[in-house]
Amino acid sequence: MKAKKQVSRSTAMRRADRAFSLYIRTRDSQKFGGRQFQCISCGRILPIEQCDAGHYVNRQHQSLRFNEFNVNGQCRHCNRFDEGNMMGYRQGLIEKHGEIVVKRLEAEKRRPMKRTVGDLLLIERVYKELTAKFTYQIKK
Ligand SMILES: [Zn+2]
């Protein structure tokens, strides 16, 4: 048994967010050799350094915070200055995953979800492992 270190909920959440974000950005750069990505909202192909992991249903909705369909590579402009460019995001999601997936995300938005510190640390571990399996790695 590993010694249990006390981790606060906010620290565990931050670590899970960071690991999940890196997973999403790495995933969405694979077809560009880890160097670029295509913004889900505006469709521009940009250097990976400009990639955020942008949520469609915002991350206050815990049920979709770590949902792989709900989070996609998005340019900083759309994510930070255009309030997510939600019209473009929805269209991009339909093209990437199909309308049924988008409708399901919208339906699951209000589902209650409470994660423990252990759940969050597991999410961190899982996404670190999944990220390591990609062919092309990116910088944090
Ligand atoms: Zn964009």
**Segment 68-125, tens digit of pLDDT:** 999 999 999 999 887 778 999 999 999 999 999 999 999 999 999 999 999 999 999 9
Q: 84 C-alpha to center of ligand 1: Å?
A: 8
Q: In angstroms, rounded to a whole number, what is the distance separating the alpha carbons of residues 75 and 44?
A: 8
Q: What is the pLDDT of residues 119-129, one digit of tens each?
A: 999 999 999 99
Q: What is the pLDDT of residues 8-19, one digit of tens each?
A: 999 999 999 999
Q: 85 C-alpha to center of ligand 1: Å?
A: 7
In a domain, 2, yes or no: no
In a domain, 72, yes or no: yes
With 70 as the cut, is the pLDDT of residue 4 above it?
Answer: no
In a domain, 126, yes or no: no
In a domain, 136, yes or no: no
Q: How far is CA 15 from CA 48, 51, 81, 119, 120, in A?
A: 21, 19, 25, 12, 8
Q: Residue 46 in 3-state DSSP?
A: strand
pTM over the 0.85 mark? yes
Q: 130 C-alpha to center of ligand 1: Å?
A: 25
Identify the pLDDT of residue 1.
Answer: 58
Q: 127 C-alpha to center of ligand 1: Å?
A: 24
Q: Which domain holds residue 76?
A: 15-120
CB of 21 closer than 8 Å to CB of 130: no
Question: Mean pLDDT throughout 21-31?
Answer: 98
Domain count, the chain: 1
Rounded (5°) CA angle 26-31-129 = 30
Q: 47 C-alpha to center of ligand 1: Å?
A: 12
